[in-house]
Amino acid sequence: MIQPKHHVFLCTGTKLRGDAKGMCHTRGAEALIGKLVEELDDRELSSEVMVSTAGCFAICDKGPVMVVYPEGVWYGELTPEKIERIAEEHFEEGNPVAEYQI
Ligand code: FES
């Protein structure tokens, strides 16, 4: 069984019936997943950070949103630039980015 150091859940705004209509979806969450995976691959962190999608966390106005466990760190209003910095500082260096936390 895989035991990653971090498990990321990134909201793609999918509702319970499977319709992708939420705010995170509208604000480009799908592309952010690709960006995060790319950043982790570049840093050879793919085995340390598991990435999963999630449905709505009911904090849509802060979207796109992701939560990182086991730390329980929530990031909001994500952009590709923020994903890059989180990959570097949080996942590579071990320092969550306080500036982006919600
Ligand atoms: S759609 Fe992402 S928190 Fe609601």
Q: How far apart are the first and last CA of the chain?
A: 31
pLDDT less than 70: residues of the chain: 15-18, 20
Q: What is the pLDDT of residue 18?
A: 65
Domains recognised in the chain with CATH numbers: 6-100 (3.40.30.10)
| Of 10, 19, 56, best ligand 1 pocket probe by most atoms within 8 Å of the beta carbon | 56
In a mutational test of the pocket of ligand 1, which residue from 14, 23, 26 has the highest number of ligand atoms less than 8 Å from its CB? 23
Q: Is the CB of 57 under 6 A from ligand 1?
A: yes
Q: How far is CA 69 from the centre of its chain?
A: 11
pLDDT digits (tens, 9 = 90+) for 82-101: 999 999 999 999 999 999 99
Q: What is the pTM of this model?
A: 0.93
- For the record, the structure tokens of 87 come out as 């990959």
DSSP readout, 89-102?
IIIITS---GGGB-
